[in-house]
């Protein structure tokens, strides 16, 4: 369930509200394009600006539309332990296959606090849980020793999405955690290196627009075709870099708007792209062949 190219799904908005029609279309798009799993309500899904009702609705709608054709790993983390428990229970009731739990942000708990937070959630549900380590967003790092302790003591904590950018730390996770504990890349540019140290796949931002290509890179690695996997890595790299010219998900949502995949719509405090960066994004999309293909479609 937790391998291959899993997409950190955007949340489409229209006139400031959740665009349910567009969200359903995106789910169908990924089902048809070799995406291995859907991850709604994560960082890329702008979970921080969703109301509780919207958060629950997005997960419910993605699960309903996916209809067990593709796993759904629902983002249910919070810096409030009881809220995280509530969201995770609701995700389980909706039929999600697993939940993704970000480290508590702003509170800056100690490692003991992180351990107690995740243990409390794990004891409250039967759902498989994946930790989400991204200190650049949360201001706190989940240390490999804490991850390993949770993995051994809480049998439904089955993996970690690692977005620390630290391959040494990820290697220590693989060394300390149980052999069947899943290591997932949280950085598109590090997917191939993470696979090489025992990772199983990626929760990808760029897969929102090129799902088949990300899936192909992972597939080639799994087949032992390292040269082909490297070719995909270097082909994707300029596009990946363009996805992070500004704070995620500003660039990927702008790209999807340019490609006709969703209506424009970012929630404050996220803002429209700077004009200089927008030109760089257009150049990356054109260089990859995406905008050119889009123009051809419009001409038809």
* Catalytic residue ranges: 132, 161
Chain centroid to Cα 238, Å, comes to 19
Q: Taking the mean position of all CA atoms in its chain, how far away is CA 89?
A: 20
The torsion angles phi and psi of 71, rounded to 5 degrees, stand at -65, 145
- Closest of 238, 197, 188, 261 to residue 33, by C-alpha: 261
- Alpha-carbon dihedral sign for residues 78, 82, 85, 90: negative
Instruction: Return the axis-axis angle of helices 226-242 and 275-288, rounded to nearest 10°.
Output: 150
Asked if 183 contacts 229 with a C-beta cutoff of 8 angstroms, the reply is: no
- Helix (H) / strand (E) containing 185: strand 182-185
């Amino acid at each position: 369930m937790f391998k291959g190219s899993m997409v950190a799904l955007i949340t489409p908005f229209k006139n400031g509200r959740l665009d349910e029609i567009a969200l359903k279309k995106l789910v169908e798009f990924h089902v048809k394009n070799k995406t291995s799993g859907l991850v709604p309500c994560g960082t890329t899904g702008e979970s921080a600006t969703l109301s509780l009702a919207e958060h629950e609705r997005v997960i419910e709608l993605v699960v309903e539309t996916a209809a067990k054709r593709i796993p759904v790993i629902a983002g249910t983390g919070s810096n409030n332990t009881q809220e995280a428990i509530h969201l995770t229970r609701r995700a389980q009731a909706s039929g999600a296959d697993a939940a993704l739990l970000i480290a508590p942000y702003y509170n800056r708990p100690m490692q003991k606090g992180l351990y107690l937070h995740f243990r409390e959630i794990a004891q409250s549900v039967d759902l498989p849980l994946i930790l989400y380590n991204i200190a650049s967003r949360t201001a706190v790092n989940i240390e490999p020793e804490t991850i390993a302790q949770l993995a051994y003591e809480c049998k439904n904590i089955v993996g970690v999405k690692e977005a620390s950018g630290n391959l040494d730390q990820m290697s220590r996770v693989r060394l300390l955690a149980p052999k069947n504990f899943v290591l997932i890349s949280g950085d598109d540019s590090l997917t191939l290196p993470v696979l090489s140290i025992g990772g199983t796949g990626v929760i990808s931002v760029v897969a929102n627009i090129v799902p088949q290509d990300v899936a192909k890179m992972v597939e080639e690695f799994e087949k032992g075709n390292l040269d082909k996997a490297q070719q995909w890595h270097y082909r994707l790299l300029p596009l990946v870099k363009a996805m992070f010219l500004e704070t995620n998900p500003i660039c990927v949502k702008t790209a999807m708007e340019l490609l006709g995949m969703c209506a424009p719509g970012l929630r404050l405090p996220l803002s429209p792209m700077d004009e200089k960066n927008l030109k760089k994004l257009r150049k990356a999309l054109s260089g990859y062949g995406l905008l050119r293909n889009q123009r051809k479609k419009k001409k038809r």
